[in-house]
Amino acid sequence: MLNTYTFAPKNSLIMVKILLSITSGIRFPVFILLITFLSCNRPVTMNGQSTEKEKAQNVIILIGDGMGLGQITGGMIANGMKTNLEKYPVVGLHKCHASDNLVTDSAAGATAFACGVKTYNGAIGVDPKYRAVQSILEEAKRKGLKTGLVATSTIVHATPASFFAHNVSRSNYEEIALELLDNEVDIFIGGGKKYFDRRADNRNLYNELRSLGFQITDYFTEDLDKVEITGKKFGYLTSDDSPLTVMQGRDYLLPATKKTLGFLTERSTKGFFLMIESSQIDWGGHSNNADYIVEEFKDFDKVIGAVLEFAKKDGNTLVVVTADHETGGFAINPGSRRDSLVTAFTTDYHTGSMIPVFAYGPGSDQFSSIYDNTAIYKKMRNALGW
């Protein structure tokens, strides 16, 4: 909790005596105004941020898929015993179970964040009765905000898909790709080229998206860092199927984040909503590969720091960092050293552990304590004043 300082009632008499001694020559109305001003309860946090309700103009949610406390700890140790998460002043925990299982998957977990409902494992933007539920990204778009998605998975994978699509199964990748034609997303960067240009239905979504005003390109055509974004909407596909790992040379998450923030800032007048996923921390957990987890976390940590710096300079941005679930039951065991971790796993699937939440910016005070994962959706909306 952030500490606050206010004028307490027991100090009132002392304050009045002081004021009487220094205002003997001041006319009565001015004296009353002075007392009123000084006695107002105006809480101020230790770091200078007001604790009064503030409205965010922008919301950025950063999701480290599969990132529990073990993954954070291992990544922190390997990163010189430090992580940018330490700079976030508000920390909480969310309960991540699905509607049909104590152990959630990414689809149900991301749908909880995006749509505010508990649903079954495998569901994309639908409730347990298969009914589509509006996401916060879709609502943002309809309220005039710009929207963006960045992921180190395919852009049609469970987590990003839950923010723009509605499907009974996370495996229906080509159907999910079609929903990007609905024009809710202004900028997207992620893998999955084959779901757009080599489909079973022979549709070429590149051409269809271009007809809707998108500037579409991919890794095969040009490097992301060399792309000049000129369109009102932008899509970049980073791989044909799933992107490479960090250890294999993938390095686009930080530049993609900075490019997306620049795009959204330049084009938004009412604010923006952005989801960024470090997808492959989860895949390292499924593989029971500690090095995979650590390197993906270190990559994500750079983005966590860059987004925080953006938010500090902007002053109107809420940043939330969390995970959909923990993967692998990852532990740092006895015998570990800073340069040599001894690790263990309890499973090659997800676990039901509560997940940490880190927050900064307007509305961040809501994110302390323990709550359901669906509350993250509600708290982001509250921060935006909806």
Q: Which two tokens stand for residue 227?
A: 């792309």
225: closest CA among 199, 192, 251? 251
DSSP string covering 146-181, please?
A: EEEEEEEEETTSHHHHTTT--BS-TT-HHHHHHGGG
Q: Active site includes 169? A: no
> For the chain, first and last CA: distance in Å?
25
111: closest CA among 373, 379, 382, 384? 373
Q: Is 307 helix (H, G, I), strand (E, B) or coil?
A: helix
DSSP string covering 230-276, please?
A: -SSEEEEE--SSSPPPTTTT---HHHHHHHHHHHHHHH-SS-EEEEE
For residues 152 and 250, the answer to whether their CB atoms sit within 8 Å is yes
CA dihedral 259, 261, 267, 273 (to 10 degrees): 130
Which of 50, 106, 364, 368 is flagged as catalytic?
106
Q: What ranges make up the beta strands (E) of the chain?
A: 4-5, 44-45, 58-64, 90-95, 146-154, 187-191, 214-218, 233-237, 272-278, 317-322, 326-327, 331-332, 343-344, 350-351, 355-360, 369-372
> In degrees rounded to 5, what are phi and psi of residue 377?
-55, -50
Report which residue type is found at 154: T
Which residues are known catalytic residues?
106
